[in-house]
Amino acid sequence: MAFSIISALYEISRSSGRVVRVEESRQYTVTVESGDVEGSGVGVYELGREYCTQAMPKGIVGVDSSSRVVDTPYMFIAVGSATGISRLGLRAFDIPAPSSILTQGDHKYILVIPEVEPFNYNVLAELGVEYRDPSSRPYPPEYNKALALEEHRVELENKVLENVLGWGELVFLDGPLFLPTHPVTEARGRSRLIDVYKENWSLLMRRRLEIVEKIDSTTRVFGIVKRLQYTHILSRDDPFKLGVEKVSDHAYLSILSERMFVGKKASPFALGPIHVRSEIDGRKVDRSMWYICVPRRFVGGETGSYVFFRVETLGNASNLRDIQPVLFDSVCTGAGIPLSIVIADQRAKRLSEAIARNVMLAVGVDRESTLQYLSP
């Protein structure tokens, strides 16, 4: 079905009138996250065997999303996917469901931004694809494509989170619980859309927070942030007086770990808690953050550079035991990143890649120009 949808869109676009492609709207954005650190008391804790003695969690759901882009002269097409998978509970919820790819109906996992005028948007509605922004307005050709992709992935993740809410299992979300700072400052595109960008992002984050709070009220939800090169929380407060400014969290932790283990055998450690207060629609929301640092192990048992990730929870939790399920799924299993996140990541990527291959056949482009991200 994805093949026939894209084929129809491609033919419609080719037969349309004037091309209004905006090249600058394709320059991707890098989201640099920061926050206001509340209080002090940040410490370093070596993660010994005592943190791996508790019983294994009954169920953990990993949630992640992925996207692939097909950039044609007439329209911007993105294929998104999202998944929630429980490796212990042996169940999964996918968008799109593999069986639905070959049927008619809702295909909102396909995002289409036409770049020709005039264009009949009723065609897109009939095909069941997504072409509206979070505020239900058709995406204009000049809309920043990286922001549109980010919005698309968040929408899909929100739908998955709403579904796994009823499973009664712990939820590991790949990425921050929410991102209050909008990436519009780095976006390329028409300045007249800045207010639209902010409005859409505010709406998405409000929905995300509502869902996350519902999950947290019945079980627990943890945000797992892997790309620490785009976050700048530690260097703003410099809790260990390293004398570095305006560096990423990844760089800060690299410097700290090198200084801690000079002449010593590297071992896993946690840094925290860091309490960050953010504002969403005028409301103050608190998060507690821990940075987990796991040395890479090579053949023979030698250790090398570290794998870093951040764990987020809602509220002001201060006990390392509060993130015990995350430690069990990463440090205690010998993994650098929680296994539930790794499994969800691979499943989401395989879904989006499988659909993108159909798109590739439909529009007649080679694999290299199709299976690409438009975000870092």
Write out pLDDT tens, residues 147-179: 899 999 999 999 999 999 999 999 999 999 998
Q: How far is CA 197 from the centre of its chain?
A: 18
Cβ-based neighbour number of residue 198 at 10 Å: 12
Q: What is the DSSP letter of 140?
A: P
Instruction: Provide the pLDDT for residue 325.
Output: 93
Asked if the model's pLDDT at residue 27 lies above 80, the reply is no
Residue 375 lies in a domain: no
Six token digits for residue 43: 């410490």
Give the integer Cα–Cα distance in Å for 348 and 85.
10
Top-confidence range, 198-202, 212-216, 256-260, 332-336: 212-216
Angle between helix 194-218 and helix 145-164 axes, rounded to 10 deg: 20
pLDDT tens per residue across span 266-283: 889 999 999 988 888 888
| Residue bearing the bigger pLDDT, 294 or 30 | 294
Instruction: Provide the pLDDT for residue 116.
Output: 79
Instruction: Provide the pLDDT for residue 51.
Output: 83
HSE-CB of 205 using CA atoms within 13 angstroms = 21
Closest by CA to 8, choosing from 77, 71, 54, 68, is 77
Residue 161 lies in a domain: yes
Instruction: Provide the pLDDT for residue 301.
Output: 46
Low-confidence winner among 25-34, 135-144, 345-354 (lowest mean pLDDT) = 25-34
Give the integer Cα–Cα distance in Å for 102 and 105.
10
Query: Residue 124: which H helix or E strand, with range?
Result: helix 121-127
Residue 376 lies in a domain: no
Closest by CA to 313, choosing from 327, 298, 303, 331, is 327
Residue 46 lies in a domain: yes
Asked if the model's pLDDT at residue 370 lies above 60, the reply is no
The number of domains in the chain is 1
Residue 374 lies in a domain: no
Instruction: Provide the pLDDT for residue 175.
Output: 94
Give the integer Cα–Cα distance in Å for 178 and 280.
9
Residue 274 lies in a domain: yes
pLDDT tens per residue across span 203-246: 999 999 999 999 999 999 999 999 998 888 888 888 888 988 88
Closest by CA to 374, choosing from 56, 117, 48, 79, is 79
Instruction: Provide the pLDDT for residue 53.
Output: 78
Residue 192 lies in a domain: yes
Q: What is the DSSP letter of 232?
A: -
Q: 302 lies in which domain range? A: 2-369
Residue 36 lies in a domain: yes
As a whole number, mean pLDDT of residues 299-308 equals 63
As a whole number, mean pLDDT of residues 337-359 equals 88
Q: pTM here? A: 0.89
Instruction: Provide the pLDDT for residue 295.
Output: 87
As a whole number, mean pLDDT of residues 339-348 equals 95
Instruction: Provide the pLDDT for residue 114.
Output: 86
> Are 62 and 338 within 8 A, CB to CB?
yes
Mean pLDDT for the chain?
A: 82
Q: How far is CA 166 from CA 73, 86, 170, 217, in A?
A: 43, 13, 11, 12
